[in-house]
Amino acid sequence: MIVKHGMNYLSVLNSARNHKLAPPLAVLRRQQFLIRVLGVRGENIMQESKFEADADNILRAITPVFDPNRHKGQAGKVAVIGGCREYTGAPYFAAISALKIGADLSHVFCTKDAAPVIKSYSPELIVHPVLEESYSVGDRDKDHMSRRVVAEVDKWMERFDCLVVGPGLGRDPFLLDCVSEIIKQARQASIPIIIDGDGLFLVTDNLGLVSGYPLAILTPNVNEYKRLVQKVLNCEVNDQDAHGQLLSLAKQIGGVTVLRKGMSDLISDGEIVKSVSNYGSPRRCGGQGDILSGSVAVFLSWARQLISANEGNLIISPTNPTMLGCIAGSALLRKAASLAFEDRKRSTLTTDIIECLGRSLEDICPAC
């Protein structure tokens, strides 16, 4: 068969068939499909590269050096609001991840039923059994009990550098009402708030809790993001303009930072969009979002300390501490997940990933 200059694809195909050189039709279809897919993927890769964050350098910049003059608590004090009868693992994963990365103290505010279980997981956590669910509160006592729950958390509030609201929270109406008041108290005290899990269920139906608060971070997965987009933008998720839609979403909520979890994590504060795309793990065991929320809490706390100590002299981009915290937390989780999967393969669990957090940070930012 002779292929002449200027022959198009169909001409070559017909000529090949005439000379009995044509591959099976199924093979040709697969080739055409691969060409289309690779072409689209190539375009996506080029687009992603424009938004990709310099995650490793951000991790190095905001991770504090060890200083013998520092005292307990200065490396971060994190509190997780969550944990009920059904869910005790999620708040543990978030709280212990914060410690494994380098926070000094990690608290969990949970229901009385959940507290003994969470305490049994680790003696490192400070567990407060103060939250209540509807089944344990009579109708006449709800107002009094709600005030008591909020007061129990509020008396600790000023000690915290960041709150993580939602891991293992559940959807009990009375409990969610109490957590709404806790969010309001944290906001009044200018405490950064990371909203995850059932906290996103609460906030999506009550956007006023975080609207206009620049120290709030939302960390939705695919389904939670879909609900947010439908609620706020009144449309469906548009993956063809994922960056633009995320920017609009964060801006519409009032400048909160949104970390959209996915194959690439997309992050926006309503001003800019950044992505973190380094490879993590194909194993999607439950609990990785809890690791992320605890990680972001620590890095957000460190970023705020760095910015406060170097005001006007900081050479880092972006400069918004919520963006920096999200980028660092996302990148570290992905690296830890990759290391864990390399060792455990299909049997990789969330606890395996947590054990790789310290080594992952050490590889990027050595302690000594």
Length of the chain (residues): 368
Q: 206 in helix, strand or coil?
A: coil
What is the C-alpha to C-alpha distance for residues 120 and 347, in angstroms, rounded to an integer?
Answer: 24
Residues annotated in the binding site for (6S)-NADPHX, as ranges?
A: 168, 221-227, 290
H or E stretch covering 350: helix 350-355
Question: How many whole angstroms separate alpha carbon 282 and alpha carbon 303?
Answer: 30
Which parts are annotated binding residues?
168, 221-227, 261-265, 280-290
C-alpha distances in Å from residue 275, one per residue of 52, 164, 259, 263, 324? 5, 22, 9, 10, 12
Cα(15)–Cα(12) distance, integer angstroms: 5
Name the DSSP class of 338: H
The terminus-to-terminus CA distance of the chain in angstroms comes to 67
Output the DSSP codes for 63-127: SPPP-TT--TTTT-EEEEE---SS--HHHHHHHHHHHHHT-SEEEEEEETTTHHHHHHH-TTSEE
CA separation, residue 271 to residues 246, 258, 318 (Å): 10, 11, 10
Rounded distance between C-alpha atoms, residue 353 and residue 336, angstroms: 6
> Which residue ranges are tagged as binding site for ATP?
261-265, 280-289
Q: What is the DSSP string of 269-334?
A: -SS-EEEE-----S---TTHHHHHHHHHHHHHHHHHHHHHHTTTT---SS--HHHHHHHHHHHHHH
The residues, any chain, with a CB within 8 Å of residue 365's CB and separated by 6 or more, are 59, 60, 63
